Amino acid sequence: MATIKDVAAKAGVSVATVSNALNGKSNVGSTARRKVLDAAQALGYRPHRAAQAMRTGRTRAIGLVLPDLTNPFFSQLAQAVENKARRLGLLACLIDSQNAADAELEGLNLLTQHGVDGIIWCPVGARLPRLLGDLGRPIVLIDRPRPGFSAVHANNAMGGRLLAQHALQQGHVRIGLLSGPRTVESAQQRRHGFVSAFPERMEIAWEVRVGFDGILPREAREAMLRRRGATLIVAGNDLIAISAMRFLHEHGIEVPADVSIVGFDDISWARIVTPRLTTIAQPLGAMGTRAVELLQERICGTTAQNPSLILDVSLIERDSVKSI
Amino acid sequence: MATIKDVAAKAGVSVATVSNALNGKSNVGSTARRKVLDAAQALGYRPHRAAQAMRTGRTRAIGLVLPDLTNPFFSQLAQAVENKARRLGLLACLIDSQNAADAELEGLNLLTQHGVDGIIWCPVGARLPRLLGDLGRPIVLIDRPRPGFSAVHANNAMGGRLLAQHALQQGHVRIGLLSGPRTVESAQQRRHGFVSAFPERMEIAWEVRVGFDGILPREAREAMLRRRGATLIVAGNDLIAISAMRFLHEHGIEVPADVSIVGFDDISWARIVTPRLTTIAQPLGAMGTRAVELLQERICGTTAQNPSLILDVSLIERDSVKSI
DNA sequence: GGTATTGAATTAAACGTTTTTGTGATTTAG
DNA sequence: CTAAATCACAAAAACGTTTAATTCAATACC
């Protein structure tokens, strides 16, 4: 690997001049600048990031810590984040905590030790961000806001309202709820948006809390079998909805003929499964890129204290809801 | 952040002794070692990775470059790789090329510039590895072997043979082939394994090449509609198979009643879609962890020149094949 | 015409480690 | 009992950058 010294030697100037020229400083003459640029080009010189990092304290790398890459919601997010980061010349360093709070902590430590400039984080542990506001670098939460932190997330409450509205339009008044985990803020907001947009004559036939990974506990399976007159199941996300559809299918209950179902997220599989899933679309790509932009601003210090971004959602009508 | 100097001061020894003690060198006395350890503990000292990197040339970070995180095959792989890496104290830096060869190249440059110690790579560009054998750091290819490189991948040919065998057992003799891209070695091997295990009386009714991303070109859609007497469709991977099932369903052709179909990979969705997909299971988790292990060995230089690993696959019978 | 000002370059210090070299003190060997 | 070897530690150099301080020449000002 060619070093800055080699470039300096080849160009016949000092290393300082090379550094200044390459970094576009104004204190270098046009002829010297030319020579430096040519020499650097000829040698294929690339600055040594570790050396730069030591001097400047900037790594040009960011962390991305997610609960579960296997969940298409997060893999789409990750793809968007990585691409945007790369376009900004930033390296994206991945942590997949597999929904384990201690692994998450370990990952955050690894990232800080490597000196990443900032972290995009979808927290799994409920109390983690509180303890770790002091990672010493900007953090942007994604999908799961917490008071006191920058975040970019979808308007989950609005999604819930859209769903309630749609349910009503299609004539569903008795609802089964497969809500997401109580510890996850976005799940709470979806649920709250949904029930708060409830008119008098609608009611919840049953409700059970399930994880976002789509694994259905016995309680959930029993509730779906027992029915209690519910004509529409509102799932906490698409993964849950799709798992539920599979379970129902195995037990001879057809969607949407016997019961309707809606999801949340609009992961790519929502339009692939049978029947295609009616759901709320989150702008996953935009969430990822905006999160990177926000983080970058925070890193450069060109922004207010804790800016947040809330992105609109929309209802995607497909085949899993029958009007009655 | 506490530096090694702080530790040295607190322990009342020189920085050299701190470094030696922390790195388990033998030339430091037991009392001094104790003092150093205590001081480091008390200050919460973590060595500055960039500084270490500059001195040692080792980053303790590895690159992971994949064609498409959105594809569950790769996200499962990525999860396994990241977790294993973290368990070894390595940071996993992600590149998602979105199947674009130039983005891939850009990503590889970014990784080398950051000085990652090694790279785990599933190449999309056909000629890329050839050009880039000289990244100056160990490379382990994953899923897509190339002569002259370390690789860990599944026994794709064996998978093809298992499929042929199963097809025969279930009485299928006219086959439709939705083969993977010609440029992808593993796709070729699956196909070759399949047709080479063909007895005389089996024949290919039609074949069309499609991308691994599950997008079906017009040619493929027409072939599926025209049928040509094929009773079994052999897809290049699960994504293709599932897309095909969706397409067939939309056109009133039922799987497996009207036509059977098999996939390859056993991504997690294979058991979620309806009907559940019969497929070849690759040990995705093992592939990821073994790749990291192999890379680590290469980095430490404790291994032969270009070791490769081929992992066995197995047939998973589910509901998408009907015997006739 | 002398002095302040600007411009373009150089020198040298600094970042936080690891590692080589150096140095007394203590042990071992002959 | 002295010479050699070992041990435990310290001092200093090095890694590849950036940047503050410095120099020197040329230009501008009064």
- How do residues A229-276 score in pLDDT, each as one tens digit? 899 999 999 999 999 999 999 999 998 999 999 999 999 899 988 899
User: Is the distance from CB of B169 to CB of B158 less than 8 angstroms?
Assistant: no
Specify the higher pLDDT residue, B302 or B16. B16
- How do residues A22-55 score in pLDDT, each as one tens digit? 998 888 888 999 999 999 999 999 999 999 999 9
* Chain A interface includes B169 (CB < 8 A): no
Q: Which residue has the tokens 């058991």?
A: B271
Q: What angle do CA B179, B194, B159 make, to 5 degrees?
A: 95
Q: What's the mean pLDDT when you consider all of chain A?
A: 92
Give the per-residue pLDDT at B26.
Answer: 86
Residue ranges near strand C (C-beta within 7 Å): A 13-17, 20, 26-29, 31-33, 51, 54-55; B 1, 3-5, 15-16, 18-20, 22-23, 45-48, 51-52, 54-56
In the predicted structure, residue B133 carries a pLDDT above the cut 80: no
Tell me which chain A residues have a C-beta less than 8 angstroms from the C-beta of B114.
Answer: 49, 60-61, 91
User: Is the distance from CB of A234 to CB of A198 less than 8 angstroms?
Assistant: no
Question: Where residue A133 falls among pLDDT bands split at 50, 70, 90?
Answer: low
In the predicted structure, residue B282 carries a pLDDT above the cut 90: yes
Give the per-residue pLDDT at B302.
Answer: 74
Could you tell me what percent of chain B has a pLDDT over 70? 98
Provide, in whole angstroms, the distance separating residue A37's CA from nucleotide C10's C1'.
19
Cβ of A43 near strand D (under 7 Å)? The reply is no
Question: Where residue B129 falls among pLDDT bands split at 50, 70, 90?
Answer: low
Give the per-residue pLDDT at A162.
Answer: 96
Using DSSP's 3-state secondary structure scheme, residue B53 falls into: helix
Tell me which chain B residues have a C-beta less than 8 angstroms from the C-beta of A99.
Answer: none
* Chain B interface includes A268 (CB < 8 A): yes
In the predicted structure, residue B147 carries a pLDDT above the cut 90: no
- How do residues B291-317 score in pLDDT, each as one tens digit? 999 999 999 877 767 789 999 999 999
- What are the phi and psi torsion angles at B95 (to 5°)? -130, 125
Question: Which nucleotides of strand D lie within 7 A of protein CB?
Answer: 7-12, 14-21
Subunit contact B94:A114, Cβ cutoff 8 A = no
Give the per-residue pLDDT at A151.
Answer: 94
Tell me which chain A residues have a C-beta less than 8 angstroms from the C-beta of B115.
Answer: 48-50
Identity of the residue in B50, B83, B96 whose CB atom sits nearest the CB atom of A59: B50
pTM above 0.85, yes or no: yes
- Find, among A103, A106, A108, the residue nearest to A121 by Cα: A108
Protein residue closest to C10, using CA and C1': A14
Helix (H) or strand (E) holding A170: none
B107's tokens: 């990503």
For residue A47, how many C-alpha atoms fall within 13 Å in the half-sphere facing its CB? 17
In sequence order, the β-bridge partners of residue A179 are A209
User: Is the distance from CB of A263 to CB of A278 less than 8 angstroms?
Assistant: yes
Residues 6+ apart with CB under 8 A from A127: none
Subunit contact B75:A76, Cβ cutoff 8 A = no
Residue A71 Cα distances to A77, A268, A318, B79, B271, angstroms: 10, 11, 21, 10, 15
Number of helices and strands in chain A (H, E): 12, 12
Give the per-residue pLDDT at A129.
Answer: 63
Subunit contact B75:A75, Cβ cutoff 8 A = yes
* Cβ atoms within 10 Å of B136's Cβ, excluding its own: 9
Subunit contact A106:B86, Cβ cutoff 8 A = yes
B220-229: average pLDDT:
92
DSSP H helices in B170-305:
185-196, 218-226, 238-250, 284-300
Tell me which chain A residues have a C-beta less than 8 angstroms from the C-beta of B268.
Answer: 70
Question: Which nucleotides of strand C lie within 7 A of protein CB?
Answer: 7-12, 14-20
Provide, in whole angstroms, the distance separating residue B240's CA from nucleotide D30's C1'.
84
Subunit contact B86:A95, Cβ cutoff 8 A = yes
- How do residues A302-314 score in pLDDT, each as one tens digit? 776 778 999 999 9
Segment among A287-301, A302-316, B271-285 with least mean pLDDT: A302-316
Give the per-residue pLDDT at A26.
Answer: 85
Helix (H) or strand (E) holding A204: strand A203-209
Identity of the residue in B50, B83, B89 whose CB atom sits nearest the CB atom of A50: B50
CA distance A107 to A101: 10
Give the per-residue pLDDT at A213.
Answer: 86
Tell me which chain B residues have a C-beta less than 8 angstroms from the C-beta of A107.
Answer: 86
> Chain A: nearest CA to B239, how far in angstroms?
10
* Chain B interface includes A112 (CB < 8 A): yes
Question: Where residue B161 falls among pLDDT bands split at 50, 70, 90?
Answer: very high
- Find, among B268, B265, B206, B272, the residue nearest to B245 by Cα: B272
Identity of the residue in A50, A54, A103 whose CB atom sits nearest the CB atom of B115: A50
Residues 6+ apart with CB under 8 A from B237: B73, B180, B212, B214, B263, B264, B265
Q: Is B285 exposed, middle or buried (0-12, 13-18, 19+ CB in 10 A)?
A: middle
DSSP H helices in A88-226:
101-113, 128-131, 156-169, 185-196, 218-226
In the predicted structure, residue A131 carries a pLDDT above the cut 80: no
Subunit contact B75:A53, Cβ cutoff 8 A = no
Segment among A118-132, A278-292, B14-28 with least mean pLDDT: A118-132
Subunit contact B94:A92, Cβ cutoff 8 A = yes
Give the per-residue pLDDT at A304.
Answer: 67
Q: What's the mean pLDDT when you consider all of chain B?
A: 92
Subunit contact A94:B82, Cβ cutoff 8 A = yes
Give the per-residue pLDDT at A50.
Answer: 94
What is the 8-class DSSP label of residue A232? Answer: E
B245-274: average pLDDT:
92
CA distance B172 to B176: 10
- Find, among A292, A284, A291, A247, the residue nearest to A265 by Cα: A284
Tell me which chain A residues have a C-beta less than 8 angstroms from the C-beta of B79.
Answer: 68-70, 96, 98
Provide, in whole angstroms, the distance separating residue A29's CA from nucleotide D27's C1'.
16
B276-282: average pLDDT:
96
CB interface of B with A, residues 20-59, below 8 Å? 46-51, 53-54, 59
Helix (H) or strand (E) holding B165: helix B156-169
Could you tell me what percent of chain A has a pLDDT over 70? 98
Cβ of A5 near strand D (under 7 Å)? The reply is yes
Cβ of B16 near strand D (under 7 Å)? The reply is yes
- Find, among A244, A264, A266, the residue nearest to A255 by Cα: A244
DSSP H helices in A28-71:
30-43, 49-56
Give the per-residue pLDDT at B311.
Answer: 96
A107-124: average pLDDT:
94
* Chain A interface includes B85 (CB < 8 A): no
A215-226: average pLDDT:
94
Subunit contact B98:A89, Cβ cutoff 8 A = no
Closest nt to A23 (CA→C1')?
D18
* Chain A interface includes B245 (CB < 8 A): yes
Q: Which amino acid is at A275?
A: P
Cβ of B28 near strand D (under 7 Å)? The reply is yes
Subunit contact B50:A54, Cβ cutoff 8 A = yes
Pick left, alpha or beta for residue A51 (phi over 0 → left; psi -120 to 50 → alpha; otherwise beta).
alpha
Cβ of B22 near strand D (under 7 Å)? The reply is no
> Chain B: nearest CA to A60, how far in angstroms?
9
CA distance B214 to B223: 16
List the single best residue of B71, B76, B114, B243 to mutate versus A (max A Cβ within 10 A): B114
B181-187: average pLDDT:
90
* Chain A interface includes B102 (CB < 8 A): no
